[in-house]
Structure 1
Amino acid sequence: MPGQLLARGVGRALRSHDFVSVEELVPSAGLRVDVMALGPKGEVWIVECKSSRADFQSDHKWQGYLEWCDRFFWAVDSDFPTELLPDDTGLIIADAYDAEIIRMSPETKLAPARRKVMIQKFARHAAIRAQAARDPAFVSGF
């Protein structure tokens, strides 16, 4: 899947910036972010991976992600028509192996209570994924 390949490249690049990331995290009912990253000082970034113009144009939920992060980015490949993306969001050019931040997202700091919730969701999501990798038969029953 093209979006998953972009997410892999984004995760690798974010790691080089000392961020750790998870894929497909649900910040609230009805929303599922492609990549959520957690920085060394507790920063929360959300990255939405778009593989085509149609993929971007069909995404009507992305503005709902803004209240769940300090910075919001789009990750697209080098052929994507970036003029479609809002100027007040971050831009990452990615492929399956790496990514580069082209435009830094403006920062809107999360409230402390919301940050605590997101860090807990991140930790639980990461732990469930790790447990599923160790014991897939057990975790898949939940």
Structure 2
Amino acid sequence: MNSELKREDKPEVEVREARPAVGEPVLLGITKASLATDSMISAASFQETTKVLTNSSIRARTDPLEGLKENVVVGHSIPAGTGQREYRNLVVGSKSELEELQAAVGGDGEAPTGDGAAGDGAPSEEDVEQIEASGSEN
């Protein structure tokens, strides 16, 4: 390595004696760490369930269900990937379906307003039911 650096007129690498890494093992209590979370459901799911739920009930605590663990416990979609709130009402379809919808609303991209009566461009309740039924078949 140094011979290559000399040929390229670059400073040589300095060498010093290596020292081994020094460390000290520290055992953190996972129980206390899990109980320290802001989510009472997450804390209760680990250990000391009765204690956590009793204290939370006495203090009238609520859980905003912001983490993965508490959402799994209560059976909700997790707030990650396509389960994020911003994607919950996302409709996925083909480009031809998009073009058909744009043509139906006049091509301006604005959603129609109305109740579907008198050709106002808005989907009627029957249209919505058909769309939902066809979506559940897939």
TM-score normalised to structure 2 length = 0.19
Higher helix proportion: 2
Greater C-alpha radius of gyration: 2
Higher relative contact order (CA 8 A, sep 6+): 1
Higher strand proportion: 1
TM-score normalised to structure 1 length = 0.19
